């Protein structure tokens, strides 16, 4: 089940997280749990999504359209007369990106012990329907919470989440420091810098380290 779930997630991810995953997997000795892989992808995709909104100056539009699609999908789930309604699955596929990708990640997390990918959701199974409703609610909450964010709040969330994830998945402390050659040295520093480059691709490692230190200080 694990390998199939990972392949499913790779197919729907709009932002390429492979470099980040490879570093974390190496830090875990090649044994990166699926739940930790998915959390890393969620952090990176959320940061990329938020950055795209700001870069294109379309924050209101980018929140409104996905929110409409998700709330409409939730309403369709709530009023279905037939649990096996085949339109439910097609409506899920029709949700626009990036909301669809975020929702499918939430589905993978919520259903991780039940199915390999979203196409195996059984709409005749009340438990599956309840889990899907939970995933939709989680996704709506994430998009809603992004509205009105301060400029650096999403980056702070990424850094704080990355630190917790690294320590949980590796059992090692997340340590980041300066080096004479201004390059990341340990696995966590590489992860932190790769994440920072999602929004600041031209910046050097010292800029990432400064942003990371400020984020941790603000949230400690």
Q: Is the pLDDT of residue 117 over 70?
A: no
Of 169, 161, 138, nearest to 34 (Cα)? 169
Higher pLDDT, 37 or 146: 37
Mean pLDDT, rounded, for 120-135: 79
Confidence of residue 62 (pLDDT cuts 50, 70, 90): low
Contacts of 74 (CB under 8 A, 6+ apart): 133, 136, 137, 140
**CB burial of residue 31 (10 Å; 0-12, 13-18, 19+):** exposed
* Averaged pLDDT of the chain: 78
148 pLDDT higher than 50: no
**Domain segments of the chain: what residues?**
1-14+33-149, 150-220
**What is the pLDDT, as a whole number, of residue 194?**
95
């Amino acid at each position: 089940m694990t390998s199939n779930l990972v392949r499913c997630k790779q197919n729907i991810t709009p932002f390429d997280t492979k470099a980040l995953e490879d570093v974390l997997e190496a830090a875990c000795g090649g044994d990166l749990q699926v739940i930790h892989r998915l959390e890393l992808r969620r952090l990176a995709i959320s940061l990329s999504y938020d950055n795209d909104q700001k870069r294109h100056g379309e924050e209101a539009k980018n929140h409104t359209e996905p929110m409409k699609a998700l709330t409409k999908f939730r309403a369709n789930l709530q009023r279905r007369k037939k649990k096996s309604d085949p339109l439910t699955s097609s409506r899920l596929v029709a949700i626009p990106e990036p909301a669809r990708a975020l929702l499918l990640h939430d589905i993978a997390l919520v259903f991780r012990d039940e199915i390999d990918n979203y196409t195996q959701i059984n709409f005749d199974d009340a438990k599956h329907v309840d889990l899907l409703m939970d995933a939709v609610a989680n996704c709506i909450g994430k998009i809603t919470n992004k509205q009105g964010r301060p400029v650096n709040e999403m980056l702070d969330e990424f850094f704080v989440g990355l630190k917790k994830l690294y320590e949980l998945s590796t059992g090692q402390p997340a340590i980041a420091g300066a080096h004479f050659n201004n390059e990341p040295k340990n696995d966590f520093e590489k992860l932190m810098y790769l994440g920072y480059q999602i929004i600041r691709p031209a910046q050097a490692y010292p800029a990432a380290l400064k942003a990371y230190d400020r984020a941790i200080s603000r949230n400690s």
